[in-house]
Amino acid sequence: MSVPHPHLHQHDFDRSTLHPRHRALMPKLAEAFFAHEGPMDPARLASFSVEVDRAISTASKTLRFGLLAMLDVIMWSPLFIIGKLSTFETLSLEDRARFLTKLEHSKIVPVALIFVAWKTLLTMVFFEEPSELLALGYPGPARTRYLSVVKAA
Amino acid sequence: MQVHDACDAILHGREQEAPFFASVDVVIVGSGSGGAVMARELARDGRSVLVIEEGGHYLPAEYGQMTPSNSIRRLAREAGLAVAVGRGDTPLISVMSGKCVGGSSVMTGGVCFRIPDDVLHEWSTDLGLGELTPEKMAPYFEEVERTIHVETVPESMRSRSSQLFVEGAAAMGVTMKSLRRNTVGCKGAARCNFGCPHGAKMSVDLSFLPDAYDHGARVLSDALVEKIDFAMNRATGVRGRFLDRVTGEPRVPFTVQAKVVVVACGSLHTPVLLRRSGMDTEAIGKHLTLHPGFRICGMFDEEVNGWDGAMQAIYSDHFLNEGLTLVGVYSAVNILAAALPGIGKEHRRVSAALPRMAVFGGMIHDDGGGRVHRWLSREPLVTYRMSARDRARMFKGIQILGTMAFRAGAREVLLPVFGSEPIKNERDLAFLTERPPPAARVESMSFHPLGSAKMSKGPRGGVVKPTGEAWAADNLFVADGSVLPSSIGVNSQVPVMAMSLKIARGLCDDWSKYARRAS
């Protein structure tokens, strides 16, 4: 995972944003967003959740409150979105994915924005993992032209 | 004193355990494109200068160690999640601005433009700001461009994504031009927006500030200014608190007395500081312009590998009269992936096409409609009401970009409209102008918030005089993008630097007047 580099002159402030209920929700949310070959490795999801917490914790109190409120909406709204009397984290992977797809295509703009806000944040952090980048076809520092320019320099 | 290591000139607020006091000639709040230029000029002129910056200080080698999300949460305000809330049928606009030594200049793509002549003509004639003619501003632009090493991006640095943009534009009879950027030895790392890992982008922390350090200026980082002090309607200094090393919350107090106070916190925070300090000038926080930006993704059959080359290399001013500037853009792969539709398998399917994806971008020369409000935390609430004319411009711009992608050979085009399906042919783009979707569903971003403490000929309708001094208080200057009187339609780092340079030169010329007032 992308963790603060030990050689950085200044480290992250030691702040946490996610409450216990959000920490329980986050791996389930991430799995619904990113699983494409069945359930994902719980250890990977746990470390990912820690990194997401770090990523949002430098934001202001108001923004962090807003992000948590959105998570609460996700947690409690399956009944209204897909008609399941259940909280998000207790849904099956298939239902969680169906729920998120409904959010994405919702005609109610604020509902769609909840999806966009968390998808953007989670995707940005998730695809920083070098193996995920490689899977997308991104060769990293080995890209052809960059490599030749750096070598020439 | 020659400072060989920038770290020697910087006092890290998060390491301070005791209250701090200083008395200087000039205190500057903010170390970005406005504050850094002021610091260099005033230090060169022999003034004792202290720059106070809320964010931290990092070196280029450290930028290279950060992943994009690491970088954003350290260098950007609101962990990169700041937004302008749309009022009416307006997109929720992501607003990126820096919070580190060097400010937003650290996070730009390096693109450099002068303020267009027709904008300067409007300012100097319609708005009565006679000192802002193209002829009078030219020397400031020239000096800034020399200092930050503005050069034309060579064609060899164009990525395939940029080349396709050029080909698509040519097929529509539109000529693309090479951008100019502030670089020395760019290697095409394609991560300009997260701090250049090679120190090749001449952001102000690597250009203006080292010169300021050599002339005695010093920086307090991790220090939040909470209030400007006044005596008899004259600014006398600032006070605030250093950020705690563990929590990042303001803790240990500091006070700085100064003969002149310069506010250069950028268009989002300058109004907040002025209001919090008790200023009641009506125009504070109003007239914010954003240059709302948009992009489309074209999916091609060939390998594009748009990450190989300069992030931004080309632009077109062909549609400038219609309020549109087209700009070649690319971004980190994980950030591009975040913009792709779908989840799970569907998202993987689309993402797998990233190597074959080109990205074309544009922005609106907007009518304004933004406001900055004090809010519940130390970050402001920014609202923006997009005019009907700008909405039409935005959809037309998206349609033009989509058309260019198809003319360049794209198989399908992904639009920046939430929940929309990929477009398969050019004809299907027509709905954007004939039956446009709600603008609130458009994914938009802004990198140039400007104009929230604007310059004006008289005390009504503006916040600062043509000299940069506040109408409402003596010895208080504003020198950042907030003073620009209207939208400029182009990337703003050079305009902000040139305007600050002009304000600084005027302040130096009349220093004895301001010093006399202070004594």
- Rounded to the nearest angstrom, the gap between the alpha carbon of residue B232 and the centroid of all alpha carbons in its chain is 34
Query: How buried is B14 (Cβ within 10 angstroms: 0-12 exposed, 13-18 middle, 19+ buried)?
Result: buried
**Are B344 and A63 within 8 A, CB to CB?**
no
Count, in order, helices (H) and strands (E) of chain A.
8, 0
Residue of chain A minimizing CA distance to B69: A125
Chain B positions in Cβ-Cβ contact with residue A32 (cut-off 8 Å): 343-344
Best mutation target, A1, A50, A71, A120, to test chain B (most B CBs within 10 A): A120
Q: How many CB pairs under 8 A join A and B?
A: 174
- Among B residues 9-28, those touching chain A with beta carbons less than 8 Å apart: 12, 14
Residue of chain A minimizing CA distance to B188: A146
What is the ipTM score, two decimals? 0.89
Q: Residue B519: enclosing H or E segment and its boundaries?
A: none
**Are A112 and B185 within 8 A, CB to CB?**
no
Q: Find the angle CA(B227)-CA(B230)-CA(B232) to the nearest 5 degrees.
A: 165
End-to-end CA distance of chain A: 30
CB-based contact, A62 to chain B, within 8 Å:
yes
- Nearest to B315, CA basis, from B329, B335, B334, B301: B329
Runs of H (alpha helix) within B377-487 = 388-407, 431-434
Which residues fall within 8 angstroms of residue B4, CB to CB, at 6 or more apart?
none
CB-based contact, A58 to chain B, within 8 Å:
yes
Strand partners, B357: B299
End-to-end CA distance of chain B: 27
The C-alpha atoms of residue B324 and residue B339 are separated, in whole angstroms, by 22
Closest partner residue to A136 among B79, B352, B418, by Cβ?
B352
User: In tens digits, what is the pLDDT along chain B, a chain of 519 residues?
Assistant: 444 466 689 999 999 999 999 999 999 999 999 999 999 999 999 999 999 999 999 988 888 888 888 899 999 999 999 999 999 999 999 999 999 999 999 999 999 999 999 999 999 999 999 999 999 999 999 999 999 999 999 888 899 999 999 999 999 999 999 999 999 988 877 788 898 988 899 999 999 999 999 999 999 999 999 999 999 999 999 999 999 988 889 999 999 999 999 999 999 999 999 999 999 999 999 999 999 999 999 999 999 999 888 889 999 999 999 999 999 888 888 989 998 889 998 899 889 999 999 999 999 999 989 999 998 888 999 999 999 999 999 999 999 999 999 999 999 999 999 878 899 999 999 999 999 999 999 999 999 999 999 999 999 989 999 999 999 999 999 999 999 999 999 999 999 999 999 999 999 999 999 999 998
- What the block records as the tokens of B104 is 């937003």
pLDDT in tens, A95-148: 999 999 999 989 898 898 999 999 999 999 999 888 888 888 888 777 777 767
Strand partners, B262: B28, B477
Query: Model pTM?
Result: 0.94
Whether the Cβ atoms of residue B25 and residue B259 lie closer than 8 Å to each other? yes
- What the block records as the tokens of B459 is 């005390």
Whether the Cβ atoms of residue B433 and residue B196 lie closer than 8 Å to each other? no
The C-alpha atoms of residue B192 and residue B336 are separated, in whole angstroms, by 15
- Nearest to B176, CA basis, from B159, B197, B162: B162
Closest partner residue to B355 among A55, A137, A153, by Cβ?
A137
Cα–Cα separations (whole angstroms), residue B163 to A22, A54, A144, B313: 45, 38, 17, 9
Handedness of CA A107, A68, A53, B31 (dihedral sign): positive
Chain A positions in Cβ-Cβ contact with residue B69 (cut-off 8 Å): 2, 51, 55, 124-125, 128
| CA-only gyration radius of chain A, Å | 18
Closest partner residue to A128 among B69, B244, B348, by Cβ?
B69
Mark whether B448 is an active-site residue.
yes
- Among B residues 106-165, those touching chain A with beta carbons less than 8 Å apart: none
- Nearest to B288, CA basis, from B72, B119, B95: B95
Which residues fall within 8 angstroms of residue A112, CB to CB, at 6 or more apart?
A103, A104, A105, A106, B418, B419, B441
Whether the Cβ atoms of residue B252 and residue B28 lie closer than 8 Å to each other? no
**Are B246 and A13 within 8 A, CB to CB?**
yes
pLDDT in tens, B68-88: 888 999 999 999 999 999 999
CB-based contact, B438 to chain A, within 8 Å:
yes
**Are B352 and A137 within 8 A, CB to CB?**
yes
**Are A145 and B307 within 8 A, CB to CB?**
no
Chain A positions in Cβ-Cβ contact with residue B341 (cut-off 8 Å): 104
